[in-house]
């Protein structure tokens, strides 16, 4: 990550979900278009999340992008890796739970 005295890059260190339960929590600071295409022809998304340890970057999958669709930049978010599942096509997909804080006014 590039840092100087006054500014910090929104592009963070890449965070990789490796085992069930791995999670990342912080503020979503940017959503960018990725540089690779998914098998369905769509372009991947890249999410930058500001954590207590600095900005972390995660790469979108079809499942993660679907779950992140309602999360706006500037919102707090927690992404939890739920492991791999077998798909109908005979491949494996990474499963995620995406959580946002409860509305405390209710």
Whether 8 is covered by a domain: the verdict is: no
Residue 79 burial (CB < 10 Å; 0-12/13-18/19+)?
Answer: buried
Structural domain including 27 reads: 13-99
Structural domains counted in the chain: 1
The set of residues, in sequence order, having a beta carbon less than 8 Å from that of 86 and lying 6+ positions away, is: 92
Find the mean pLDDT for residues 80-88: 94
Whether 31 is covered by a domain: the verdict is: yes
Whether 61 is covered by a domain: the verdict is: yes
Whether 63 is covered by a domain: the verdict is: yes
The set of residues, in sequence order, having a beta carbon less than 8 Å from that of 98 and lying 6+ positions away, is: 64, 67, 68, 71, 77, 78, 79, 80
Residue with tokens 């077998």: 86
Whether 41 is covered by a domain: the verdict is: yes
- pLDDT band of residue 47 (cuts 50, 70, 90) is very high
Residue 103 has what pLDDT?
72
The neighbouring-strand residues paired with 58 are: 47
Whether 7 is covered by a domain: the verdict is: no
Residue 34 has what pLDDT?
76
Whether 75 is covered by a domain: the verdict is: yes
Whether 106 is covered by a domain: the verdict is: no
- pLDDT band of residue 28 (cuts 50, 70, 90) is very high
Tokens of 10: 């929104």
Find the mean pLDDT for residues 6-28: 85
Query: Which CATH number characterizes residue 62's domain?
Result: 2.40.50.360
pLDDT of 2 > 70? The answer is no
């Amino acid at each position: 990550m590039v840092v100087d005295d006054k500014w910090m890059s929104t592009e963070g260190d890449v965070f990789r979900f490796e085992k069930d339960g791995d999670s990342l929590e912080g503020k979503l600071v940017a959503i960018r278009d990725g540089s690779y295409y998914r098998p369905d022809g769509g372009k991947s998304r890249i999410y930058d999340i500001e954590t207590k340890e600095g900005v972390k970057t995660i790469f979108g999958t079809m499942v993660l992008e679907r779950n992140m669709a309602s999360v706006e930049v500037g919102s707090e978010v927690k992404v939890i890796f739920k492991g791999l599942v077998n798909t109908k096509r005979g491949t494996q997909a990474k499963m995620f739970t995406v959580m946002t804080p409860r509305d405390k006014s209710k």
